[in-house]
Amino acid sequence: MTDEFDSLDPNVRWIVTEARRPVPAAAAARARLIAAIKAEPVPSRGLRLVTWLSEPHRFVLPPLATAALAASLVGVGVLGGLAINRDGRSAAVQLPAVASGQPQLPDSLSPRAVKFVLIAPQAASVALVGDFNGWNSGAAPMKATDGTWTVFVSLQPGLHTYSFVVDGSHFVSDPTAPISPDDGFGHRSSVVLVRKPSL
Amino acid sequence: MRAITLLAIATSVSFAQDTRGRAADPLGRLDPSTRYAVEMLMDSARMVGLPYGPLESKALEGIAKRASSRDILVAVRRVFRSLRDARTALGPSASADELAAGAGALRVGVVGSELSHLAATRNGNRLTVPLVVLADLVTRGVPRDTASLTIFQLWLHGAADDDFLGLWRSVERDIVSGTDPGVALLNRAREIPAKGPSTAVPPATGVRPEDAKS
């Protein structure tokens, strides 16, 4: 450490030395600070619990429990994130290529982040369903800001059919997108075309 | 501690099995006979080289919308037939997206020969967007002949995807404002600059694509 310090530029050494020099505090200021601390009310039980939860703690687990916990987390991660189609293709949800940090797919196959928006101030919940998530209303819940519900979904290039599910049971087509002809079930869905990037 | 360990293992295994079950067997919520029929249709589609994803998606859509097994099967069969007819109309080189869009157009009443006319003049361009817009316009009340012929004319004159999407937005806005759907389409179609040999926009009815081409 000393060798490293000595090898620094003299100006840098001076700055470091000055920065390390303790700042003298006036006795009156120190007294005011201690008095202010003492004047703070003792945290309530709930606040102490929150504080305790927000601070780091050390836990000791026996090796068997540690191995079991690790195995369970790996199991959830591997099996929970993987889906297999009928033809054996992996259907795991893929992040946008730019965000994955993984070797990228050929550009024409890369998923695109698509933003879906529905203005529904009265809705308590809105979800996006479509052929890209198996029409599973739990797959893409939307978040509301002042009555505007939005979600970003990674979609493969191509034609996709989708709908919004409002309050868990009402299927609503997207007013800003073309509608699909007929869903056969008494509701209309919408269509989005995710384009391949131009080369 | 042992109890906690066992609980963690049991919970993770249960969750993983549930997740895997839902993902690997999305049609598991269909009754056995409907599921069998749907899978037969999917296998048939695969055998004849049609995309089977739209069939599975339609079944899952029906499940999500709590449709009856009968309605689900009817809808899946309808998608299968329309995909098959769309390929007949658009030709074997049509992409999966074009087939899906063409199938949608057929399901709203556009006839196969009109799709064939579009496909015959594609010159390597993708038909997906024009077909989606065509199906949407007919669904919104534009007379089928008017919609088909207008889309065909625009296509013939070099309209691009953005032109069709812009047309759709304008017409949709006009319809919401109370304009007659057919009139809205014809008015808005005239605003699209021709990029091809002619700027003519067809009359509302009575002219077939083969007449328009000549």
Q: What residue spans define the domains of chain B?
A: 1-90, 96-214
B26 to A134: CB separation less than 8 angstroms, yes or no: yes
Among the partner-chain residues B52, B53, B108, the one whose CB lies closest to the CB of A182 is: B108
Under 8 Å CB-to-CB from B144, ≥6 apart: which residues?
B108, B109, B110, B138
Provide φ and ψ at A192, rounded to 5°: -130, 135
Predicted local distance difference test score (pLDDT) of residue A128: 96
Predicted local distance difference test score (pLDDT) of residue A98: 32
Sorting pLDDT into bands at 50, 70 and 90, what band is A82?
very low
Q: How far is Cα B127 from Cα B108, in angstroms, rounded to an integer?
A: 17
B16 to A73: CB separation less than 8 angstroms, yes or no: no
Q: Answer yes or no: is pLDDT of A144 > 70.
A: yes
Closest C-alpha to A81, from A141, A128, A139, A162: A139
Predicted local distance difference test score (pLDDT) of residue A199: 47
Handedness of CA B90, B92, B97, B100 (dihedral sign): positive
Element spanning A54, H or E:
helix A45-54
Q: Answer yes or no: is pLDDT of A90 > 90.
A: no
More confident residue, A185 or A101: A185
Residue A129 with chain B: CB contacts under 8 Å:
64
Among the partner-chain residues A64, A131, A165, the one whose CB lies closest to the CB of B5 is: A64
B24 to A181: CB separation less than 8 angstroms, yes or no: no
In the numeric block, the tokens 């780091």 are attached to A56
Interface contacts A/B by beta carbons within 8 Å: 123
A104-194 adopts what CATH topology? Answer: Immunoglobulin-like (2.60.40)
What is the ipTM for the molecules in this complex?
0.76
Mean pLDDT over A26-49 rounds to: 74
Cα-based distances in Å from A133 to A38, A55, A141, A176, B187: 57, 38, 11, 20, 39
CA dihedral B87, B90, B91, B93 (to 10 degrees): -100
Mean pLDDT over A159-164 rounds to: 93
Predicted local distance difference test score (pLDDT) of residue A181: 78
Predicted local distance difference test score (pLDDT) of residue A188: 84
Q: How far is Cα B79 from Cα B73, in angstroms, rounded to an integer?
A: 10
Please tell me what DSSP assigns to residue A130. E
B75 to A186: CB separation less than 8 angstroms, yes or no: no
A184 to B71: CB separation less than 8 angstroms, yes or no: yes
As a whole number of Å, the end-to-end CA separation of chain A is 54
Provide φ and ψ at A117, rounded to 5°: -135, 135
Mean pLDDT over A66-90 rounds to: 48
Sorting pLDDT into bands at 50, 70 and 90, what band is A15?
confident
For chain B, what's the residue count?
214
More confident residue, B146 or A84: B146
CA B160 centroid distance within chain? 19
Predicted local distance difference test score (pLDDT) of residue A59: 59
- The answer, for A91 touching chain B at a CB cutoff of 8 Å, is yes
Give percent of chain A with pLDDT exceeding 90: 30
To the nearest whole number, what is the mean pLDDT of chain A?
A: 74
Beta A126-130 vs A170-172: how paired, if at all?
A: unpaired
Residue B168 with chain A: CB contacts under 8 Å:
178
In chain B, the residue whose alpha carbon lies closest to the alpha carbon of A178 is B136
Task: With H, G, I as helix, E, B as strand and everything else as coil, classify residue A16.
Answer: helix
Lowest mean pLDDT among A2-6, A38-42, A79-83, B46-50: A79-83
Q: Which residues of chain B have pLDDT under 50?
A: 13, 15-22, 198-214
Residue A197 with chain B: CB contacts under 8 Å:
none
Among the partner-chain residues B12, B62, B128, the one whose CB lies closest to the CB of A76 is: B12
Mean pLDDT over A55-64 rounds to: 66
In the numeric block, the tokens 């700042």 are attached to A23
Among the partner-chain residues B8, B24, B71, the one whose CB lies closest to the CB of A83 is: B24
Instruction: Cite the residue boundaries of each domain of chain A with CATH code 2.60.40.10.
Output: 104-194
Among the partner-chain residues B19, B53, B72, the one whose CB lies closest to the CB of A79 is: B19
Under 8 Å CB-to-CB from A171, ≥6 apart: which residues?
A129, A163, A164, A165, A187, A189, B65
Q: Answer yes or no: is pLDDT of A42 > 90.
A: no
CA distance A34 to chain B (A): 44
B136 to A178: CB separation less than 8 angstroms, yes or no: yes
Among the partner-chain residues B15, B16, B78, the one whose CB lies closest to the CB of A184 is: B78
Q: How far is Cα A166 from Cα A182, in angstroms, rounded to an integer?
A: 20
Under 8 Å CB-to-CB from B70, ≥6 apart: which residues?
B34
pTM given for the model: 0.64
CA distance B89 to chain A (A): 18
Please tell me what DSSP assigns to residue A8. S
- The answer, for A65 touching chain B at a CB cutoff of 8 Å, is yes
- For chain A, helix, strand, coil in percent to 5 are 30, 25, 45
